[in-house]
Structure 1
Amino acid sequence: MRLIGYGVVFLGANLLLAEPAAASDEHHDDGPSEEAVDCYGGPSGFWERSTLPGDFGGVRSALCKKGIQLSAIHIGEFLTNPVGGQKRGGKYQGRTELDLDLDFDKMAGVSGLTVHASSYWLQGGRLGEKSVGSLMAVSNIEAVPSLRLYTLWLQQNLWDDMVSLRIGQLAADDDFLISTGAANFVNSTFGWAPLVSTNLPSSGPVFPLAAPGARLKLAFTDEWSWKVGVFTVEPAGRPNGQPPHWRNHDGTLFSFAAGTFDISELAYSINQGKDDTGLAGTYKLGAWYASNRYNDQRWDSTGTSLASPNSTGVGKPIRGNWGIYGVVDQMLVRTGQGPDQGLSAFLRGGGAPSDRNVVAWDLHTGLTLKGPHESRPDDLVGIAFTFASISNSLQALDRDNRFFNNLPTRPVRDYESVIELTYQAALTPWWILQPDFQYIIHPGGNVPNPNSEGGLKKIENAVVMGIRTTLKF
Structure 2
Amino acid sequence: MKTNQVKSAERRSTLIVVFVLLSFSCVCRSQTQNDGLSGAGAHEDAGSSHEHLFGDWRGKRTELENKGVSCDLQYIADHLWNVRSAQKTRLADWNRVRGTVNIDLGTLAGARGLYFHITGLWQGGGILGAYLDAIASPSGMSSANTFRLDSYWLEQRFLHESLVVRLGQFAGQDFYGAQHDATSFIVEPLDYAMGNLSVNYESFDPPSTPAAEVRVIPREHFYVKSMVFAADRVPYAHNPTGFVPQFRGAAMTASEIGWTPGQSARDVRAFDTVQSRTGYSGLYQFGGTYNPGKFTSTSSSTPVSANYLIYGMASQALWRTAERSSTGVDITASVNWSPADRSRRNQETTAGLRYNELLPIHWHNTLSLAYVRSGVKYLGNASNIAIIQRRDAEHVLELNVLFKPTGWLLLQPVVQHFFNVGGKTGDATVVGFRSKVEF
TM-score, with structure 1 as normaliser: 0.80
Q: CA RMSD in A?
A: 2.9
Task: Give matches, 1:397-416, under 5 Å.
Answer: 397-398=381-382, 401=384, 411-416=389-394
Q: How many Å separate the matches in 1 of 2:298 and 2:83?
A: 34
Cα offset for 1:86? 4.0
Write the letter of the residue equivalent to 1:152: Y
Q: Is the 8 A contact 2:28 2:60 kept in 1?
A: no
2:354 is aligned with what amino acid? T
Q: Number of paired residues?
A: 410
Q: Which residue type is aligned with residue 396 of structure 1? A: G
Map 1:298-377 to 2 at 5 A: 298-300=299-301, 316-335=302-321, 339-376=325-362
Name the structure 1 match of 2:111: 110
Amino acid in the other structure paired with 2:366: L
Structure 1 residues 277 and 259 mapped into 2: Cα distance closer, same or farther (>3 Å)? Answer: closer
Question: CA offset at residue 330 of structure 1?
Answer: 0.7
Structure 2 residue 243 is matched with structure 1 residue 252: yes
Instruction: Label 1:420 to 1:59 Cα distance change in 2 as closer, same or farther (>3 A).
Output: same
1:297-322 deviations in Å (ceiling 9; x for gaps) = 1211xxxxxxxxxxxxxxx1111111
1:452 maps to which residue? none
Select between 268-277 and 145-154 the one with higher mean Cα deviation: 268-277
Separation in 1 of the partners of 2:152 and 2:53? Answer: 26
Change (3 A) 1:85 1:259: farther
What amino acid maps onto 2:436 in structure 1? T
Q: Is the 8 A contact 1:209 1:236 kept in 2?
A: no
Aligned residue for 1:264? 255
* CA displacement at 1:276 relative to structure 2: 11
Which SS does the other structure have where 1:270 is aligned? coil
Deviation at 1:337, TM superposition (A): 7.4
In structure 2, C-alpha distance between the alignment counterparts of 1:390 and 1:276, rounded to whole Å: 34
Asked if the contact 1:194–1:359 (Cα under 8 Å) also holds between the matched residues in 2, the reply is no
Q: Is the 8 A contact 1:387 1:415 kept in 2?
A: yes
8 Å contact kept, 1:209–1:235: no
CA contact (8 A) 1:171 1:205 kept: yes
Task: Give the gaps of 5 or more residues in structure 1.
Answer: 33-41, 43-47, 238-244, 301-315, 447-457
- Output aligned runs, 1:134-153, within 5 Å: 134-153=134-153
Aligned to 1:396: 380
**Which of residues 427, 432, 436 in structure 2 aligns to 1:461?**
427
* Partner of residue 420 from structure 2, selected from 442, 452, 457: 442
* Rg larger for: 1
Rate the CA distance shift 1:295–1:210 in 2: closer, same or farther, 3 A.
Answer: same
Post-superposition CA distance 1:330-389 (Å, at most 9, x none): 111102576432101011001110101022211111100001033256200010101111
Per-residue deviation, residues 80-114 of structure 1 (Å, max 9, x unmatched): 10111544211111111101112211221110111
Matches of 2:276 and 2:149, distance apart in 1: 38
Distance 1:29 1:352, change over 3 A: farther
Is the 1:82–1:89 contact (alpha carbons within 8 Å) kept by the matching residues of 2?
A: yes
Indicate how the Cα distance of structure 1 residues 57 and 106 shifts in structure 2: closer, same or farther if over 3 A, else same: same
| Cα distance in structure 1, aligned partners of 2:405 and 2:438 | 12
- Percent identical residues: 23
Runs of 5+ consecutive residues of structure 2 not aligned to the other structure: 1-9, 40-47, 265-274
Letter in 1 for 2:187: N
Question: For 2:22, what is the secondary structure of its paired residue?
Answer: helix
Alignment pair present for 1:419 and 2:416: no
Structure 1's 187 and 31: CA in aligned 2 closer, same or farther, altered over 3 A? Answer: closer
Match of 1:282 in 2: 283
SS at match of 1:257: coil
1:11 has 2:20 as partner: yes
Assess, with a 3 A threshold, how the Cα gap between structure 1 residues 7 and 111 changes in structure 2: closer, same or farther: farther
